[in-house]
Structure 1
Amino acid sequence: MEGWVRICDTGSLKQGELLEFDQAGKKLMLTRMGQDVYATDRICTHAYADLTGGFVNEGERTVTCPLHLSAFKLADGVPQNPPAETPLKIYKVKIQDNAIYIKID
């Protein structure tokens, strides 16, 4: 599992929760929506704001920045509205043996 980093147990991540963590000098977050788990950068691409202080829209599977209210799709990081124009970096996720791993490039 070269390049894969264990982040937490699957039971540690609740539905719709924004779990912040730092890994390899990056500020990242995990989010669970149903059976899907998403890993993205957690700093807004528009202005420096920690997205874990924002809110999740589970129906649209987005996270909204608490500073200027740009929403980002969790699956691909693409901003859904201004002022953000640059997507969030996303990371591959896998679940194995009841643990969540992400691939750090």
Structure 2
Amino acid sequence: MPSEWVRVCDAKSLSNGEMVEFDHAGKKVMVAKAAGQLYATDRICTHAYADLATGFMNEDACTVTCPLHLSAFNLKDGVPQNPPATEPLKTYKVKIQDEGIYVELDRQP
């Protein structure tokens, strides 16, 4: 399926330890910055419907914790680190271009 790069925000607007949420073509995605690296994942917990962008980021462990049942997900690969979640989050490629943060998403038909 073809993809497209979607501009999320200005690169300077996201500091270490912060997350930004966005919606695009029905997808709920977030970008997180941990230890100078950018990561993009789906932002809805795979266990129960909870918005991970309202959760807690552990920058040192590179995880985000669901505010509902406290499952933590690795931001690098989306893999849950503890129950009750067992399914990984989808992850996306991220780049900085023209002073903006972009995420590669599947193009919707």
TM-score tier, shorter chain, comes to over 0.9
The corresponding residue for 2:99 is: 98
Structure 1 unpaired stretches of 5+: none
The corresponding residue for 1:47 is: 48
Q: 2:35–2:59: 8 Å Cα contact kept in structure 1? A: no
Q: 2:16–2:36: 8 Å Cα contact kept in structure 1? A: no
Cα deviation code 1:26-45 (max 9, x no counterpart): 01111111321111111000
The corresponding residue for 1:70 is: 71
**Distance (whole Å) between structure 2 residues aligned to residue 93 and residue 29 of structure 1:** 11
Q: 2:7–2:100: 8 Å Cα contact kept in structure 1? A: yes
Runs of 4+ in 1 over 6 A off after TM superposition: none
Equivalent runs, 1:18-57 vs 2, <5 Å? 18-57=19-58
The corresponding residue for 1:84 is: 85
SS in 1 for 2:12: helix
**Distance (whole Å) between structure 2 residues aligned to residue 19 and residue 83 of structure 1:** 24
SS in 2 for 1:3: strand
With 44-53 and 15-24 compared, the bigger mean Cα shift is at 15-24
Letter in 1 for 2:86: E
Percent identity among equivalent residues?
66
**Distance (whole Å) between structure 2 residues aligned to residue 11 and residue 71 of structure 1:** 27
Letter in 2 for 1:11: K
Letter in 1 for 2:54: G
Structure 2 unpaired stretches of 5+: none
Shift in Å, 1:97 = 2.0
**Distance (whole Å) between structure 2 residues aligned to residue 76 and residue 90 of structure 1:** 6
